Copies of this chain bind each other. A is one copy, B any other.
Amino acid sequence: MTRVTFAITMSLDGFVAGPSQSEENPLGIGGMELHRWLFPLQVFREMHGEEGGEVDASTPVVEGWFENVGATIMGRNMFGGGPGPWGDDPWSGWWGEDPPFHHPVFVLTRHAREPLELQGGTTFYFVTDGIESALAQAREAAGDEDVSVAGGADVAQQYLAAGLIDEIEISVAPLILGNGARLFANLDGAGLELEPLRTVEAPGVTHLRYRVLAPTRRAEAAG
């Protein structure tokens, strides 16, 4: 059975970006510090065409984010170039001509746009009719493989609130940012039970992986 997964790095106080996000500073003030644990790793550098780097306990965790993934879903703000209509010279993403996905990527947006096929097997599809439509298309594209929800926080919140996420992995960075984009905002009334799957302590980060329980299983788990 394919899984719908979501993995992200979060400060201890729950932020996935710092305050004052902008085009120049998309992760906000202090936001890049969240990922400080990731940048030196060989697995990260390889994805960006660079040689060398470190191997540590985070390495298999990061590799796991990309294994067996057949499709990705992301929000317009994460894809970039927005907001508003795409215009005459439409933005083609942050990842250059050969993005690291190598599979279909479904971008949630209000503004229609033809698919954008780039090199290396990545095609961006622009979905204007909501999260369930994007997920249905992603599942079909993924076949037997998993669907990854890449972000942003607002997209993850919508999928979590709708009970559509199967597993989450939160990489907790050793920071208290104080403000910014709060991952678990807009979930009042959601009340989700989680089943711990794995905890990995690594240099500069702790990875917490959970299964998100379905409502019936939540009632059973609550006993």
Interface residues of A (CB under 8 A from B): 12-14, 19, 30, 33, 160, 170, 172, 174-179, 183-184, 187-196, 199, 201, 204, 206, 208, 210, 222
The 10 closest A-B CB pairs, nearest first, are: A13-B184, A174-B194, A199-B201, A176-B192, A178-B190, A178-B187, A179-B188, A14-B14, A178-B188, A199-B206
CB-based contact B184/A189 at 8 Å: no
Q: For the complex, what is the distance from the CA of A138 to the CA of B155, rounded to whole Å?
A: 46
Return the contact of A176 from the options B30, B174, B187 (Cβ within 8 A): B187
Return the contact of A206 from the options B12, B160, B176, B196 (Cβ within 8 A): B196
Contacts of A204 in B (CB 8 A): 196
CB-based contact A187/B13 at 8 Å: yes
CB-based contact A176/B196 at 8 Å: no
CB-based contact B189/A196 at 8 Å: no
Q: For the complex, what is the distance from the CA of A195 to the CA of B204, rounded to whole Å?
A: 8
Contacts of A184 in B (CB 8 A): 12-14, 176, 178
Instruction: Give me 19 other A-B pairs in contact (C-beta within 8 A), A175-B194, A176-B187 excluded.
Output: A12-B170, A12-B210, A13-B14, A19-B188, A174-B194, A174-B195, A175-B191, A175-B192, A175-B193, A176-B184, A178-B184, A178-B188, A178-B189, A178-B190, A178-B191, A196-B201, A196-B206, A199-B206, A206-B206
